[in-house]
Homo-oligomer: A and B are copies of this chain.
Amino acid sequence: MDFNDTKEEAEFRVEARSFLEKHLKPKDANSPRRPSGEDFLKRAKEWQKTKAEGGFAQITWPKEWGGRGGSSMQQVIWNQEESKFDAPTGPFTIGLGMCVPTVIAFGSDEHKKRYVEKALRGEEIWCQLFSEPAAGSDVAGVKTRAIKDGDEWVINGQKVWTTGAHFSDYGIVLTRTDPKAPKHKGLTMFIVDMHQKGVEAKPIHQASGGREFNEVYFTDVRIPDSDRLGEVGDGWKVALVTLMNERLAVGGSPGPDWKEIMEYARDTGSLSDQAFREKLADWYVAAQGYSLTKFRTQTALSRGGTPGPENSIGKIITANQLQDICNSAIEMQDHYGIMNDTDTMPANALFQQSFMWAPGLRIAGGTDEILKNIIAERVLGLPQDVRVDKKVPFDELKQG
């Protein structure tokens, strides 16, 4: 049990930090929480390329794909250090964290040669096309249809909540190839070129006002059979690998945490309120519990473990805590707290902005309810819910 770096870790940390200092500005209170836009995307691509050239992109990946061939603990150290800087990393999280690992696991050698290094160098961005209007928590309920036509497949249907679809070059898309098979059996996964004819991304207007996610429509989109990932009908197996990687990626929240509301309370004179102090203690303990659990997971990974369902606890804690913290900060300001002008409000209206984001965080990447089911079934081994959809042909399932 040691929170301090080993000698080798300390050396790597120094190396990482000096690289970061050379290229980036440290994060400060004015750094945007959820940056977006053309300029940001450009900066992100440049930074990804710089990282790759410096040997800091995907540290654990083998050198042949442009990685460093380093340890998972080095990746942790890099992440810790990078997070202190105003690093534009968002657009690559899903591609490098979820999609490309799926390509590596199920793609052909040609796929790997063609896609992996370009993604790692920031030249191509990937998105994940699973969710649909009628397939949210029930991810396997996808209706987007792929029909074989010679050596090609023809795709028709609609995806939803696709992060970054409008700036992505490629995607992995989960489709239904056999509607007569039971739900989980008739699915197949493909690589899709997002620039081709028939693929259309439309931003979703969110409850928070923003438009970060997309609907993606597929109209007679043709995909060569060679761009299939895994066997026909094995799409669910492929998707599970993607989703397992998602669990490691989700959890953190860009929203204000215990420290920021503590500072806010100190500045506005509420820190002496005993009721607030007790709440603050609760937030701190749970937030620490989440961060420290990530360390435990990293230690397990560094000893050869795999990311398990126990990582689902992260988002349950952080999303709910974010909502609670924002609500408390607003109520602490009384009537004034309803105002949300970023120029005049305390903390740049961060609490108000995040108040509108929090409900989405509790849903994205698995609702609280789905995550608890995952813990109950896969960690504790409790019986599955009674499932009426397990053996029925998909096209005979009741859809409401």
Contacts and interface: CB of A to CB of B under 8 A. Distances in A.
Nearest to A385: B386
Contacts of A278: 275
Contacts of A275: 274-275, 277-278
Interface string A270-308: 000111011000000000000000000000000000000
A278 B386 CA distance: 42
A372 to B, nearest CB: 15
A274 B279 CA distance: 12
Contacts of A277: 275
A99 B386 CA distance: 36
A274 B272 CA distance: 10
A207 interface: no
Contacts of A29: none
Contacts of A1: none
What copy number does this chain have within its complex? 2
Contacts of A385: 386
A380 interface: no
Interface size class of A (residues with CB under 8 A): under 10
Contact of A386 (B273, B274, B386): B386
A2 B225 CA distance: 76
A270 to B, nearest CB: 11
A388 B388 CA distance: 11
A388 B275 CA distance: 48
A277 B275 CA distance: 8
Interface string A350-385: 000000000000000000000000000000000001
Interface in A57-109: none
A340 B340 CA distance: 52
A273 B278 CA distance: 11
Nearest to A388: B386
A287 B277 CA distance: 26
Contacts of A274: 273-275
Interface in A252-280: 273-275, 277-278
Most buried by B among A273, A274, A385, A388: A274
Most buried by B among A273, A275, A386, A388: A275
A275 B278 CA distance: 7
A268 to B, nearest CB: 16
A395 to B, nearest CB: 22
Contacts of A386: 385-386, 388
Nearest to A277: B275
A386 B385 CA distance: 9
A30 to B, nearest CB: 34
A275 B277 CA distance: 8
A384 to B, nearest CB: 11
A383 to B, nearest CB: 11
A129 B275 CA distance: 47
A274 B274 CA distance: 5
Contacts of A273: 274
A277 B274 CA distance: 10
A242 B294 CA distance: 53
A388 B387 CA distance: 11
A381 to B, nearest CB: 15
A385 B388 CA distance: 12
A224 B368 CA distance: 56
9 contacts: A273-B274, A274-B274, A274-B275, A275-B275, A275-B277, A275-B278, A385-B386, A386-B386, A386-B388
A-B pairs with lowest CB-CB distance, top 6: A386-B386, A274-B274, A275-B275, A274-B275, A275-B278, A273-B274
Given A274-B274, A274-B275, A386-B388, 6 more contacts: A273-B274, A275-B275, A275-B277, A275-B278, A385-B386, A386-B386
